[in-house]
């Protein structure tokens, strides 16, 4: 399971001297392109997660959030076609709070359309924040009548495996409220490459780096 914090769209736009929205658009297109080419990797991935929109992103300007949501709506629709062609299973990984009925319908349609595929699982972490996920899990447990429980069963996507490798593009070296519970023993890889410039060859290079690491998993 490879999880990716897609960072650097805004700085890519500044570098290219284009609008920030163009940076986000290029980032979205890159995400789809990588999923189209996963079969070209030297390694087999069973599950891949993308940090699409965090709960903290709501703090951005209203104009930017609206622009992002319009882009994300198109992203889900375009991604559905790619998923069907590549036998990908798309799963929504995040809170449903604050999302419009229109957005929820788009998400649910894509998830339902691809649920019978049997290829790679692609988790889209949209409206996601790890602290929010943990808080929501605690609330579910509080109202549960079970005397014993597995905490993971109350997370947003309990049947997802913990990430083996977390990649963050853009040069920042932090997790930014991403999969805090699940990343306990994940290997971390940080690269200065801005997300729109992180191609399938870049992912392949990171996987080769990961393959040389010795994972002790607390032992």
For 138, left (φ over 0), alpha (ψ -120 to 50), or beta?
alpha
Integer angstrom CA distances of residue 57 from 38, 66, 68, 177: 28, 11, 10, 12
Choice among 7, 30, 123, 127 that is catalytic: 7
Choice among 57, 117, 177, 204 that is catalytic: 57
Q: Can 37 be counted among the known catalytic residues?
A: no
Integer angstrom CA distances of residue 193 from 40, 43, 91: 20, 21, 27
Residues 158/152, Cβ–Cβ less than 8 Å: yes
Q: Using H for helix, E for strand and C for coil, what is the string for 161-210? A: CCCCEEEECCCCCCCCCCCCCCCCCCEEEECCCCHHHCCHHHHHHHHHHH
- Cα dihedral 78, 178, 169, 60, rounded to 10, equals 70
Q: Can 74 be counted among the known catalytic residues?
A: no
- In whole angstroms, what is the distance from residue 83 CA to residue 90 CA? 7
Residues 113/147, Cβ–Cβ less than 8 Å: no
- In whole angstroms, what is the distance from residue 43 CA to residue 160 CA? 19
- In whole angstroms, what is the distance from residue 147 CA to residue 45 CA? 36
Residues annotated as catalytic (active site), given as ranges = 7, 57
């Amino acid at each position: 399971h490879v999880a990716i914090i897609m960072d650097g769209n805004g700085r890519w736009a500044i570098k290219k001297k284009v609008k920030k929205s163009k940076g986000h658009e290029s980032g979205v297109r890159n995400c789809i392109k990588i999923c189209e080419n996963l079969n070209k990797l030297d390694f087999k991935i069973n599950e891949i997660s993308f940090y699409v929109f965090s709960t903290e992103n709501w703090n951005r300007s209203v104009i930017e959030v609206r622009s992002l949501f319009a882009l994300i709506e198109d992203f889900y629709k375009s991604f559905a076609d790619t998923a069907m062609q590549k036998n990908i299973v798309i799963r929504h990984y995040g809170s449903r709070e604050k999302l419009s009925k229109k957005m929820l319908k788009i998400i649910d349609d894509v998830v339902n359309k691809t649920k019978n595929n049997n290829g790679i699982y692609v988790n889209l972490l949209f409206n996601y924040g790890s602290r929010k996920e943990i808080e929501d899990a605690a609330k579910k447990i509080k109202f549960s009548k079970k005397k014993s429980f597995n905490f993971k069963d109350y997370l947003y996507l309990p049947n997802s495996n913990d990430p083996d490798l977390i990649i963050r593009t853009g040069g920042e070296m932090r997790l930014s409220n991403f999969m805090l519970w699940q990343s306990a023993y994940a290997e971390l890889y940080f690269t200065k490459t801005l997300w729109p410039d992180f191609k399938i060859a870049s992912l392949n290079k990171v996987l080769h780096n990961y393959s040389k690491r010795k994972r002790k998993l607390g032992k």
